[in-house]
Amino acid sequence: MTGAQRRHDPERRLRIISAALDVVASHGVAGTTHRRVAAAADVPLGSMTYHFTNMDEVLVEAFRLLADRVSTRFTERLATATNLDEACEAVVDLIVDESWATPRTMLLSYELYAFAARNPPVRQVMQDWMEKSRAALRRHFAPDTAKVLDALIEGLSIHRSVDLEPMTRAEVRSVIGRLIH
């Protein structure tokens, strides 16, 4: 047989999507190119157009992967709670621990927010992510409280990532207690 044989690589598409998150974390959405993503995924440049129509599609899938990964950790932490006090403590953990709000995840979240502001398919990824978070919270809290807690978790996590003196665990617990009771 002459010519190069096609390499069977069923994980290539997922590798490209994961690599896109790495590139966004390093270069931002604006600096994410087909060439950079292909290099980070260790795939031929042609694989980008074989698996995806354009870079927006790559980014939508990458942000969907981020949202799914974070939602899973978020949901798993809340699922361990068996009563209201434990659910409140889970919310405190989600804010003050790096169970989901790692520096990398926060950086990617900032990129996601900015990109979603101008891109309806990415906005849908964010809305789906919010709904997953709220659904996990509704297992323990009323729907209106779950919505507020979701915003509080996200907002305080953003503040913690840049605040020189972020709220302590005790302060966060006190805020949640006032909100719940």
Of 174, 181, 176, 158, whose CA–CA distance to 103 is shortest?
158
Q: How many structural domains comprise the chain?
A: 1
Q: What is the pLDDT of residues 118-173, one digit of tens each?
A: 999 999 999 999 999 999 999 999 999 999 999 999 999 999 888 999 999 999 99
Residue 71 inside a domain? The answer is yes
Model confidence band, residue 29 (pLDDT cutoffs 50, 70, 90): very high
* Average pLDDT value for the chain: 92
Both tokens of residue 89?
A: 């403590």
- The dihedrals phi and psi of 23, each to the nearest 5 degrees, come to -65, -40
pTM summary value:
0.87
Any idea what the Cα angle at residue 135 is, between residues 109 and 168, rounded to 5°?
Answer: 55
Is residue 166 one of the residues assigned to a domain?
A: yes
Percent of the chain with pLDDT over 70: 96
Give the whole-angstrom CA distance, residue 126 versus residue 104.
Answer: 17
Domain that holds residue 170: 62-180
Assigned domain for 4 exists: no
Q: Calculate the dihedral angle through the C-alpha atoms of 41, 158, 174, 94, rounding to the nearest 10 degrees.
A: -10
> Does residue 55 sit within a domain?
no
| Nearest in space to 40 (alpha carbons), one of 60, 59, 22 | 22
User: DSSP labels for 133-153?
Assistant: HHHHHHTTS-HHHHHHHHHHH
CATH number at residue 113: 1.10.357.10
| Whole-number pLDDT of residue 132 | 96
- Let me know if residue 87 belongs to a domain: yes
Query: Going by C-beta distance under 8 Å and a sequence separation of 6 or more, which residues neighbour residue 102?
Result: none
Q: Is 165 within a domain?
A: yes
Q: 120-138 and 143-162 helices cross at what angle (nearest 10)? A: 120
